[in-house]
Amino acid sequence: MTRRELEMKDYELRSFIAEKFKDIQMQAQSLKNVEDRDKALRAFAAIDEFIGDAKRTYVELEYLQDETPEDEENEDILTFNY
């Protein structure tokens, strides 16, 4: 990927994580009545899913940060050949 593509992917991943944070907050706010067990369990399941999505995306973000942009690799190769 080029540097620009890496930056765009980084932005997309961070935006996705931010959306999952909002989803978690909305589900947590829906937990008002301790008597409504079924609704609480559905909210817990949704929160668990959102947390899993965010964790997987953080891992993907780590891999992305380790990636070297193609532009820099090509410049190094050209420099080495001279």
**Segment 12-45, tens digit of pLDDT:** 999 999 999 999 999 999 999 889 999 999 999 9
Q: Which residues of 42-74 are buried (b: 16+ CB within 10 A; e: fewer)?
A: ebeebbeebeebbeebeeebeeeeeeeeeeeee
User: Nearest 5°: CA angle at 50, between 47 and 54?
Assistant: 140
Name the residue range of residue 51's domain: 3-81
**Domain count across the chain:** 1
Q: Are 69 and 1 in contact (CB under 8 A)?
A: yes
The string of pLDDT tens digits covering residues 46-72 is 999 999 999 999 999 999 999 999 865
Burial of 81 (0-12, 13-18, 19+ CB in 10 A): exposed
